[in-house]
Every structure is written in structure tokens, then in C-alpha cells.
Amino acid sequence: MKRILIVDDDRELAESLAHFVETNGHEVTIASNGQEAVDCHRTTQYDVTVMDVRMPVMNGVDSFFEIRKLRSSANVILMTGRLEPIVETALRSGAVGLLQKPFAYSVLGGALEALIAEAA
């Protein structure tokens, strides 16, 4: 079982993704914005963070950079409906993946399993 953090301001989507990840045997925490994600990383080590890019308070890219300051090896997969230059910067800086919204659960499952297998 791995510890996964799902970060999205769309609570319904976050809960749906969390349910899918939990049914695949993982422990899930949900955060609703980038600042909450950073706060979660201050107290808990996650195996993977799946994070939306566009959120209030702190966006996913800024949050990614803050999380990497706390833990340089953090595995962060970004989710977005629009590919923007700032997302490309995060990918070049170590974000481990990008999910283009909308995506099938199987795409998320494949990305998580690939990261988990790589870490094993």
C-alpha cells in the first residue's frame, strides 16, 4: 500500500479519484488547493502526489516547487485541461507526469503503477 495525495479544488473529482485509488489498495489524502498540499507534505511523506494545476490560494505548479523544497525526490503528477508554459517548466524541473483532463481512470492507474514499480 502506498500513500497518495490527491489535490484538486473540484471536491467531487478529488473524491472520485481518491475512491479509484483506494480501490486499488492505496491510502489516500485529499487537499483542495496547493497550500493545503504543501502543508500536508510538511507532516507526511507521500509516495505520489496527483495535483491539479489551476486552483485557488496556490496553484499546482507553485505548490510543486514548494513541495520539492521540502522533499527533492517528491513524485508529483500534474493534471490540467490546458498545457501552459509554466506546466512545461514544472515537467522540466522534475514533475514526473502530466495527465490531460479529462482522462480515464485507467490512465491515472497506469501512471501510479509505473511510479510504484519504478520505486520498488
Domains and CATH numbers, the chain: 3-119 (3.40.50.2300)
Residue 100: closest CA among 4, 91, 20: 91
* Whole-number pLDDT of residue 79: 97
Given this model, what pLDDT does residue 38 score? 98
* Whole-prediction pTM: 0.95
Lookup result for grid cell 517528491: 74
pLDDT value at residue 118: 82
Q: Report pLDDT for 119.
A: 73
Cα–Cα distance between 86 and 71 in angstroms, integer?
Answer: 20
Cα(75)–Cα(82) distance, integer angstroms: 21
Which pLDDT does position 116 carry in this prediction?
A: 84
Give, for all 120 residues of the chain, the pLDDT tens digit.
899 999 999 999 999 999 999 999 999 999 999 999 999 999 999 999 999 999 999 999 999 999 999 999 999 999 998 888 889 999 999 999 999 999 999 999 999 999 888 876
Distances (CA, A) of 87 to 9, 24, 44, 58, 118: 18, 28, 25, 14, 23
38: left (phi over 0), alpha (psi -120 to 50) or beta: alpha
| Residue 97 CA neighbour count, 13 Å, CB half | 20
Which of 42, 69, 23 has the alpha carbon at shortest distance from 31?
42
